[in-house]
Amino acid sequence: MELYFMGTNAGVPSLERNVTSLALRLFDERRSFWLFDCGEGTQHQILRSPLKLSKLEKIFITHLHGDHLFGLPGLISSRAYQGGNTPLTLYGPPGLKQYITTSLNISESRIDYRLDIVEHEGGKLFEDETFCIESELLDHRIASYGYRVIEKDLPGKLDSVILASHGIKPGPLYGKLKRGESVEAPDGVTITPDEVLGRPKQGRIVTILGDTRPCQAVISLSEGADAMVHESTFLDELAQTAYDYHHSTAKQAAEAAKAAGAKQLYLTHFSSRYKSEEQLHRLLVEAKQTFANAELAREHVIYPVVRADGEE
């Protein structure tokens, strides 16, 4: 599980940064990736990345401001030309379906794969045997949502030495033991999972937040998160400006990460006024004064999501 930022600017693109888009790479877990927001130019950023649209499984839109979704129609229509023929599901606030269907219909775009659009107002959006996705309404000028990605615990490691001593080799019996089933070994001995299965690996939690002022939903979505992505549009000297425009400062992002007990904070959604490395560094310094494990999100950099035990 890895984070890959393709846009970290707020409002409009700049020569230094694109507008908001973030991939959650799940190649080991699902052989796919999920996209969070899709600002203008996102498909160009994907062409410069190790990502392939054919592997895109889900898109989550935080809110319907242009810098977070103007890239969607082009990306959706281009996906089939890049080998994308598997179903694609979009999640986002009410109005997303009208925006997508209108754009595709007027442009007479042809989609050769199943496209599902799920409009929501928070709650549990998706769950299978490996992941659960939850969402809550944040505090922004329009309805803006944060997403909590919960990886379910993984089975512990099997003791291959004990299994080999009973004549059990990697294969179907390994799978049964990992699913919690007892098996009969070739030597006639019944092996229970408790005898050969180590402690489960704790699943990771990734929180990706849309534009927001500080609010309780930020804390609840980020509780205990292994990785937390929070907008940091302004320095705290512009806290009143941030409030007036329904945004947050780097200091406020750090305060939220500390209150939530998050393990790692990634700052993103920087105002275009902060162009130089020196100006961006001020945002990081401000955040680190409150929360040491803060980092500026950089475009086209892979950020592994580390487990509590230090494994990726």
- State which of 140, 170, 196 marks the end of a domain: 196
Q: Which residues have a catalytic role annotated? A: 67
Query: What residues contact 165, with CB distance under 8 A and at least 6 apart?
Result: none
Residue 246 annotated in ligand binding: no
Residue 281 annotated in ligand binding: no
Residue 198: the pLDDT is 82
Task: Give me 311's structure tokens.
Answer: 């494994």
Residue 179: the pLDDT is 80
Residue 311: the pLDDT is 63
Residues 190 and 119 in one domain: no
Rounded Cα gap, residues 183 and 193, in angstroms: 8
Does a structural domain hold residue 311? no
Residues 73 and 164 in one domain: no
Residue 44 annotated in ligand binding: no
Residues 32 and 177 in one domain: no
Rounded Cα gap, residues 19 and 142, in angstroms: 18
CATH number (domain holding residue 211)? 3.60.15.10
Residues 73 and 133 in one domain: yes
Residues 98 and 164 in one domain: no
Domain around 103: 2-154+201-304
The number of distinct structural domains making up the chain is: 2
Residues 298 and 246 in one domain: yes
- State which of 196, 218, 250 marks the end of a domain: 196
Residues 139 and 165 in one domain: no
Residues 74 and 45 in one domain: yes
Rounded Cα gap, residues 234 and 252, in angstroms: 10
Tens digit of pLDDT at every position of the chain (312 positions)? 999 999 999 999 998 899 999 999 999 999 999 999 999 999 999 999 999 999 999 999 999 999 999 999 999 999 988 888 999 999 999 999 999 999 999 999 989 899 999 999 999 999 999 999 999 999 999 999 999 999 999 878 888 889 999 998 898 888 888 888 898 899 888 999 888 888 888 899 999 999 999 999 999 999 999 999 999 999 999 999 999 999 999 999 999 999 999 999 999 999 999 999 999 999 999 999 999 999 999 999 999 999 876 666
- State which of 173, 196, 219 marks the end of a domain: 196
Does a structural domain hold residue 209? yes
Does a structural domain hold residue 137? yes
Does a structural domain hold residue 310? no
Tell me how crowded residue 293 is: count the other CB atoms within 10 A of its CB: 16
Residue 194 annotated in ligand binding: no
Residues 123 and 166 in one domain: no
Does a structural domain hold residue 100? yes
Residues 36 and 174 in one domain: no
Residue 204 burial class via C-beta count within 10 angstroms: exposed 0-12, middle 13-18, buried 19 and up = buried
Tokens 């309404």 locate to 137
Q: Which residues pair with 150 in a beta bridge?
A: 132, 205
Backbone angles phi, psi at 4, to 5 degrees: -140, 110
User: Does the pTM of the predicted model rise above 0.85?
Assistant: yes
Residue 65 annotated in ligand binding: yes
Residues 146 and 165 in one domain: no
Does a structural domain hold residue 312? no
Residues 192 and 43 in one domain: no
Does a structural domain hold residue 309? no
Does a structural domain hold residue 230? yes
